[in-house]
Amino acid sequence: MAEKSESAANIRFTSCDDISALTSEMQSVNLAPKKPSVLLHACCGPCATSCVERLAPDYAVTVYYYNPNITDREEYYLRRDTLKHFIDEFNKENAALYTVSFIEGAYDSERFIEKADPLKDEPEGGRRCDVCFSMRLAETAKMAAKMEMDYFTTTMSVSPHKDYEKIKSLGSMLEQDITPNFLDADFKKKNGFGRSVELSKKYGLYRQNFCGCDYARAAK
């Protein structure tokens, strides 16, 4: 009995004020709408800038760097580190609002070369690029499913050199076999590319002058 009274004495009673503060805190937690999640495939830092800026207010964004098409290793790591630098800076600047996450996929450039080499003489925008889009989007969709994301999409559409209808039709095909939906976002619209140039300057990002593979670089 003595023990029981002692433990009763230790119970901390919460005042009415505390309870109403707690209730209103709980309500604000419960009422805050949960943002849908999106796995955003990103080819480089500059392209990611305006896409992240556009998505972050409405989605929980995870950026996915999966680019085996960047066949030069040094270039691959330079673009990855530029992208990470941008995300770090963006997160610092928006710390009170949202946090963007980052993950990196496998660097399986041999797999890319195996698929792309028979199409090495294709012009940029031709069949080699279809294979390249398809490989990167399929991997993004798979990863989004694994992470139980609501959506997947890509920054590739921000480039004026990339055909959005091709990207969209690949994304729509993939979503038929996989749970997350393709987020239909043509990021070049509403001056998305121009904004990416502005933001790249603002964050001092390295901006490459070729698409990614050595075939494209050699054709310059």
Give the nearest distance from C-beta 69 to ligand SF4 in angstroms.
Answer: 4
Member of 44, 129, 144, 185 binding ligand SF4 (CB under 6 A):
129
Q: Are 77 and 66 in contact (CB under 8 A)?
A: no
Distance in Å, CB of 29 to ligand SF4, minimum: 44
User: Closest separation between CB of residue 67 and ligand SF4, Å?
Assistant: 8
Q: Whose Cβ is closer to ligand SF4: residue 203's or residue 210's? A: 210
Q: Considering all CA atoms of the chain, what is the largest pairwise distance in Å, rounded to the nearest integer?
A: 88
Binding mask 199-218 for ligand SF4 (x = CB under 6 A): ------------xxx-xx--
Per-residue mark of binding to ligand SF4, 130-149 (x: CB under 6 A): --x-----------------
- Quickly list H helices, 56-179: 73-93, 109-116, 127-146, 164-177
- Kindly tell me which of 135 and 149 has the beta carbon lying closer to ligand SF4: 135
86 Cβ contact partners less than 8 Å away, ≥ 6 residues apart:
45, 48, 49, 52, 203, 205
The Cα 129–Cα 76 span in angstroms is 18
Bridge partners (DSSP) listed for residue 61: 38
Q: Smallest distance from the beta carbon of 97 to ligand SF4, in angstroms? A: 33
Torsion sign across C-alpha atoms 152, 163, 212, 209? negative
128 contacts ligand SF4 (rule: CB under 6 A): yes
Binding residue for ligand SF4, selected from 49, 69, 155, 159, defined by CB under 6 A: 69
